[in-house]
Amino acid sequence: MNLKRCLLFLFVIATTSQLAIAQSGEWNSANEDEALDQYTLLGKPLPNEIPTPSFSDSFSRLPKDWTLFKRMVVDKRNRHHIYQLGYITGALLATDHETWSALKRSNDKEDSIESINEHFVGLGDGFFQMAVAGVFGAVGYIAEDNLAKRTSFQIVEVFLATGSVAHLMKHVTGRQSPSRATSRTGNWEPLPDQNRYYEDVKAYGSFPSANLATFYASFKVIEDNYRHHTWLPYLRYFLTTGVVLGNTGQSKHWLSEAPISIAIGHVFAKIVTRNNHPDNRLEMQKYETIKIVPMFSPKGDSLVGVQWAW
């Protein structure tokens, strides 16, 4: 890893870790009563209101994460999202060669653009996500801040959940990356021979972009935990755009792979953070298989019922 990439990693890590440090510092520096009012008014979570998270949850929750993902994908209430995603992907697929050619020319022509693209691509290589998770975890343990701990553990969880599904889809779709394309938009070989796949991953493992999906999901987790920082979405838009253009300019992925990669990351981020806030829990309840719910009889009696989603 060269010096410039290290500096970019340090900058982004410092920016994200400042969220956790500022959270703890704001709580500790203020009078307790004043801080309570301030956090309540701004809708910020109190550090001592968040249950102590467990690192083992990053792994034990994965089966449930994948189950919820499957339910959300096949749920008929989400069909319009699937259709929209298909239309956008199809439109971009038709112009993949042109967009890739234009971005590649810029990448090859200007050393500065090539360097920028390399840095953005590095944001999704796994090292960055784990480094950010480590920073939040360190701040959480040092400052005894459960919010920072939860953020750290959820980054690990969403990285594993998102990355595994993205890589599974790569093995199913078998699309050529731009650097190995033997046709204008790359050939597709569904369920390619696994020996050939691992011998030349770029010839079969382009769709979708696990690089983009895991980066987006990890940042969305940070954004959900620190939702009172209203500038975070804008930083996400900027960095995500950089990763998309960098991947295409570096001939690692096609532009048409961005929508589904972002969608996978977005859904898993919502799943992993489903218990962070009341509105998150309410949104995800419809995908739970069995729920105990309050019911009322026509006579006005209070009852307890079981609701089954299928």
Give the contacts of 259 (CB within 8 A, at least 6 positions apart): 85, 88, 89, 92
The half-sphere exposure of 208 on its side-chain side, counting CA atoms within 13 A, is 23
CB distance 187 to 201 below 8 Å? no
Q: What is the pLDDT of residue 206?
A: 96
Q: What is the pLDDT of residue 51?
A: 86
Helix axes 258-272, 62-74, angle to 10 degrees: 120
**Arithmetic mean of pLDDT, 147-167:** 97
Side chain identity, residue 117: N
Please tell me whether the peptide bond between 208 and the residue prior to it is cis, using omega within 30 degrees of 0. yes
Q: What is the pLDDT of residue 25?
A: 46
CA Rg value for the chain: 22
Structural domain boundaries of the chain? Answer: 3-276
Give 301-310 pLDDT, tens digit per residue. 555 554 444 4
Q: What is the pLDDT of residue 16?
A: 53
Q: What is the pLDDT of residue 277?
A: 84
Q: What is the pLDDT of residue 269?
A: 97
Give the contacts of 301 (CB within 8 A, at least 6 positions apart): none
CB burial string 240-272: b at 16+ within 10 A, e below: bebbbbbbbbbbbbbbbbbbbbbbbbebbbbbb
**Arithmetic mean of pLDDT, 12-31:** 50
Give 188-243 pLDDT, tens digit per residue. 999 999 999 999 999 999 999 999 999 999 999 999 999 989 999 999 999 999 99
Residue 188 CA to residue 284 CA, distance in Å, equals 34
Give 87-139 pLDDT, tens digit per residue. 999 999 999 999 999 999 999 999 999 999 999 999 988 999 999 999 999 99
